[in-house]
């Protein structure tokens, strides 16, 4: 009865904290889901398993969502909410086997309610993070029950959802060293390491096949440069962990190397090692770092920081905090109440794209992307001013010219739109989206032949680009076959 009561408490807290996501719409990359033929086509469930794609299981769930409910946003959010609820309930069972019951409940509550988890739950496109975490937690549950090879199978399924948690076998090795020393665990751990290596190589291959990929070789940043930024990023995550204010969907991170931050992390790790044999918090802090390192070390991503990368590592960090707080129940209850209020507030921000991107512009004033996104969702009069501000920051950014062109099209100023789309194409030659946009402006100016040439060139560069296919069809062109090369960029 106590176990059931604790699970109900966790479930109720999650529903209170994150239930507001059911009132939210879509944001940012969520819209790309519906431009993916593998999601919208009736037979798309076969295409998501193409070797050139990443996260096939996640996209299979998007396909199911679309087939059952179209673009009803609340159904997509409901799935994310259910996945987070499952993670919380399953995690409670696991932690009760690894630490005192009171500390396990505290750790699960911090994991489930911390506002740093809001991006994973409230952002539909982050479903891969949640889905992969569910299967990793199921793998961990099987593991601590002694079912080692079934745990390997769960881990393999988690990699089909997203490859982000490839460090799970290293975490299990940490458990082996600190707790069990059972030699029978080494072979299944080795099998998981091989699966993780295969998943990593698959991601690198897929990024070479995917137009507009945002990771690996196509991230636009070298591994050593990415590593140099991540010490600062990890310290930022840890700051948000203990002082959960100042969140933003698009944080401003220095692009220069900050090696001093890695030195600080090494010191923290050394302190944890000192605690490793004397107190459990050190073990769990190291576990959190290990789970975080695959996405925050040398595998580049265009987004230098993203709060959703903390989702599974929060198991370790939340457990360390809970063990430190285990003897002070009053402080723990106060912290949980504060976290719940902050999470409700954070989910409220995610309910509105205007609120989300206004906050991002305020907290990342020197970044262009928040301004582009805010200009897309506000009225045209405000949007022009926002884009002029963005142009002052990055005068040669083709994305700004493209967004200005779209605004001019919407305002009926077709010649100005053509000028901006032409400028975008000059700044980014052979960009299929820029070609497609310019073709639309040419159509509006009744220059049909020139428009068809732009659409044809765009489809030659990316035959699966949804906007180019739609525009070409309206122009009466015969569409080329769409060979799925992984039409959605991994993020």
Q: What is the pLDDT of residue 148?
A: 95
How many whole angstroms separate alpha carbon 123 and alpha carbon 346?
A: 12
How many whole angstroms separate alpha carbon 459 and alpha carbon 465?
A: 7
- Give the model's confidence band at 159: pLDDT under 50 very low, under 70 low, under 90 confident, else very high: very high
Q: What is the pLDDT of residue 491?
A: 43
The whole-model pTM stands at 0.91
Q: What is the pLDDT of residue 471?
A: 85
Q: Where are the alpha helices (DSSP H) in 145-252?
A: 148-161, 168-175, 186-209, 223-242
Q: How many CB atoms lie within 10 A of CB 414?
A: 18
How many whole angstroms separate alpha carbon 115 and alpha carbon 130?
A: 15
CA 273 to chain centre: 30
Average pLDDT, the chain: 89
Task: Report the DSSP beta bridge partners of residue 215.
Answer: 301
Q: What is the pLDDT of residue 279?
A: 56
How many whole angstroms separate alpha carbon 216 and alpha carbon 101?
A: 41
The 10s digit of each residue's pLDDT in 2-59 is 678 889 999 999 999 999 999 999 999 999 999 888 898 887 778 888 887 889 999 9
Mean pLDDT across 368-396: 91
Most confident range (mean pLDDT) of 52-61, 108-117, 379-388, 473-482 is: 108-117
Q: What is the pLDDT of residue 465?
A: 82
Whole-number Cα distances in Å, 440 to 54, 57, 384, 389: 31, 35, 20, 26
How many whole angstroms separate alpha carbon 80 and alpha carbon 20?
A: 12
Q: Which helix (H) or strand (E) holds 138?
A: helix 127-144
Nearest to 405 by CA among 392, 397, 414, 396: 414
Task: Report the DSSP beta bridge partners of residue 301.
Answer: 215
What is the rounded end-to-end Cα distance, in angstroms, of the chain?
42
3-state secondary structure of 207: helix
Q: Is the pLDDT of residue 489 over 50?
A: no
The 10s digit of each residue's pLDDT in 305-347 is 999 999 999 999 999 999 988 778 888 889 999 999 999 999 9
Output 255 or 167, whichever has higher pLDDT: 167
Q: Does domain 357-474 have CATH number 1.25.40.10?
A: yes
Q: How many CB atoms lie within 10 A of CB 117?
A: 30
Can you give the residue ranges of every domain in the chain? 2-356, 357-474
Q: What is the pLDDT of residue 153?
A: 97
How many whole angstroms separate alpha carbon 60 and alpha carbon 45?
A: 6
Q: Cβ contacts of residue 336 below 8 Å, gap of 6+?
A: 13, 109, 110, 113
DSSP state of 487: -
- Give the model's confidence band at 68: pLDDT under 50 very low, under 70 low, under 90 confident, else very high: very high
The 10s digit of each residue's pLDDT in 220-251 is 788 899 999 999 999 999 999 999 999 999 99
The 10s digit of each residue's pLDDT in 116-134 is 999 999 999 999 999 999 9
Q: How many CB atoms lie within 10 A of CB 104?
A: 23
Mean pLDDT across 423-427: 92
């Amino acid at each position: 009865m106590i176990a059931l009561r604790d699970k109900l408490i966790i479930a109720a807290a999650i529903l209170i904290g994150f239930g507001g996501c059911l009132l939210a719409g879509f944001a940012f990359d969520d819209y790309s889901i519906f431009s993916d033929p593998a999601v919208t086509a009736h037979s798309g469930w076969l295409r998501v398993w193409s070797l050139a794609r990443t996260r096939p299981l996640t996209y299979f769930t998007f396909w199911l969502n679309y087939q059952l409910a179209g673009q009803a946003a609340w159904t997509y959010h409901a799935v994310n909410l259910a996945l987070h609820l499952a993670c919380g309930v399953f995690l409670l069972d696991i932690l009760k086997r690894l630490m005192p019951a009171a500390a396990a409940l505290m750790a699960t509550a911090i994991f489930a309610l911390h506002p740093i988890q809001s991006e994973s739950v409230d952002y539909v496109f982050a479903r891969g993070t949640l889905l992969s975490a569910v299967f990793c937690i199921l793998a961990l549950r099987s593991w601590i029950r002694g079912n080692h090879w079934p745990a390997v199978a769960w881990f393999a399924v988690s990699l089909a959802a997203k490859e982000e948690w490839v460090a799970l076998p290293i975490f299990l090795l940490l458990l082996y060293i600190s707790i069990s020393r059972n030699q029978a665990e080494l072979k299944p751990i080795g099998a998981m390491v091989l699966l993780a290596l295969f998943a990593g190589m698959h991601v690198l291959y897929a990024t070479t096949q995917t137009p507009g990929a945002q990771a690996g070789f196509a991230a636009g940043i070298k591994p050593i440069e990415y590593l140099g930024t991540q010490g600062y990023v990890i310290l930022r995550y840890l700051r948000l962990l203990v002082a959960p204010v100042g969140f933003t969907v698009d944080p401003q991170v220095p692009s220069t190397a900050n090696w001093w931050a890695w030195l600080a992390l090494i010191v923290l790790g050394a302190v944890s090692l000192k605690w490793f044999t004397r107190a459990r918090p050190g073990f769990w802090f190291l576990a959190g770092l290990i789970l975080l390192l695959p996405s925050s070390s040398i595998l580049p991503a265009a987004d230098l920081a993203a709060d959703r990368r903390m989702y599974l590592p929060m198991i370790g960090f939340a457990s360390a905090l809970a063990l430190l707080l285990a003897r002070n129940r009053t402080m723990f209850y106060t912290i949980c109440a504060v976290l719940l209020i902050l999470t409700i507030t954070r989910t409220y921000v995610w309910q509105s794209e205007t609120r989300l991107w206004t906050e991002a512009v305020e907290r990342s004033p020197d970044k262009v992307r928040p301004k582009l996104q805010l200009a897309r969702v506000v009225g045209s009069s405000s949007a022009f001013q926002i884009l002029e501000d963005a142009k002052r920051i990055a005068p040669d950014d083709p994305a700004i010219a493209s967004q200005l062109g779209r605004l001019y099209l919407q305002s009926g100023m077709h010649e100005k739109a053509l000028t901006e789309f032409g400028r975008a194409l000059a700044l980014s030659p052979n960009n299929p989206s820029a070609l497609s946009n310019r073709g639309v402006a040419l159509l509006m100016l009744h220059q049909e032949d020139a428009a068809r040439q732009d659409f044809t060139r765009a489809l030659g560069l990316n035959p699966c680009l949804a906007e180019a296919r739609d525009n070409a069809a309206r122009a009466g062109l015969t569409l080329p076959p769409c060979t799925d090369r992984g039409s959605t960029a991994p993020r």
